[in-house]
Amino acid sequence: RQIDSLLEMNRLFTAWTENVYHRRVHSETGAAPLARWMGDRPLVVPNPSDLAEAFRWSEHRTVSKTALVSLHGNRYQVDPLLVGQRVELVFDPFDLSFLRVRVQGQDAGTALPFQVSRHSHPKARPETPAEEPRPTTGIDYLGLIDTAHKADLADKVNYAALGEQRTPAVDLTDLTGE
């Protein structure tokens, strides 16, 4: 199916969300998303710092006798008390200018950039462009969902239309008697 406008895409996405996604049982939770949303449990919203932490990478290094650690060609200064210890470096793969140091799971401060030549992890890749669209099957899946969504909406009360006051058309010939 060819989508000709953003308005049509949004309408079809809404139809798919309401008729397919919200009603299909999720394999991980064992419940449909709409049923979970309408449940009596409070929604758990992650703390932004916890969310950022979840996407950080980490690598282990041994601190040299000069209190330096190396990570992909960069060197960082750490607390001199960590000399000889194996530490965990926690970082954003797209920004190697800021590293947190952990020892046995406990925070041990920040690794200060000493000599930085690489600013991102070698395996960190920006998002790749979308792959080429696959050949069509001839089944208009979005059209089927759209039809079901329109039928579902037709069964509901249109409150906006109830608020409109309509004045009946008056035939002037009836008033004049002609």
The verdict on 31 and 54 lying in the same domain is no
In a domain, 76, yes or no: yes
Same domain, 17 and 64: no
Q: What does the mean pLDDT of the chain come to?
A: 84
42 vs 21, residue with greater confidence: 21
User: Does 52 lie in the same domain as 86?
Assistant: yes
Boundary-marking domain end, from 62, 89, 115: 115
State the pLDDT at residue 123. Answer: 77
Residues 6+ away with beta carbon under 8 Å from 46: 54
Domain that holds residue 100: 48-115
Domain count, the chain: 2
pTM, whole model, 2 decimals?
0.50
Q: Quick one: 74 and 100 in the same domain? A: yes
Distance CA 23, CA 34 (A): 6
* 90 shares its domain with 64: yes
The model's confidence at residue 56, banded by pLDDT at 50, 70 and 90, is: very high
pLDDT reported for residue 163: 65
